Structure 1
Amino acid sequence: MVIKAIIEEIGKYAIFSHRWLPIGEIIFGKISGEITLAHLAGLCTPSELGGLEKLRQFCTKARELGCSLAWADTCCIDKTSSSELDEAIRSMFRWYRSAHICVIYLAGSTALEDMEDDAWFKRGWTLQELLAPARIKFFSKDWEPLCQSENDKLNPEITRRIERKTTIPESQLRDFQPAPHDIPIRMAWAANRVTTRVEDRAYSLIGIFDVNLIIAYGEGKSAFGRLMEAIYQKRPHYEVFLWERRPADDHASRAFPASPESYLSYDGPELSDRAFKADDPTNRVWAGRSGSFGDNSFASTNRGLRIRCLDVWVTLRSDPVEVAQHTWKLTLRPWHPLERDIEDVVALVDSQTSASFKMKPPRLSAAIGVLDYLRDESDRPGYVETKGSLVEGRDHFGWLLMCPTGHSGGWYKVMTYNTVRLRFKQQPRKSGSSLRSIERSLIQVHL
Structure 2
Amino acid sequence: MQEFFKDTGIRKKRLLLTAFTITMVLAAACSVPSETSHGGEKKENVSETESGYEPGEHDKPEEGGKADTGDKAEQEESLEGEAVMELCRDIYEEAAEAGTLGSLEVTEAVVNRLGGHGYTAVDWENQINMTNPETVMEFCESVDEERQAEVTLLAIASSGGLTKYQCRTKDGKTTVIREDYQWKNGRCEQAGKIRYAADTWQYTKEGYLLFGGSYDSKEDYVLTLSEGWDGAALRVQPLDETCREYSRSYLLPIGYGQNNLFLTDWSEEEFGALDFYDVFDRLYPIVKGQPVPYKADENLNIGAEYQIPAEEFETVAASYFAIDKEELRERTAYVPEDGTYRYRPRGFYESDYSDIPFPEVTNYTENADGTITLFVNAVYPEEYASCAFSHKTVIRPLSDGGFQYVSNEVLPSGQELDLWWHSERLTEEEWEELYLP
State the TM-score, normalized to the length of structure 1: 0.26
TM-score, with length taken from structure 2: 0.27
More strand by share: 2
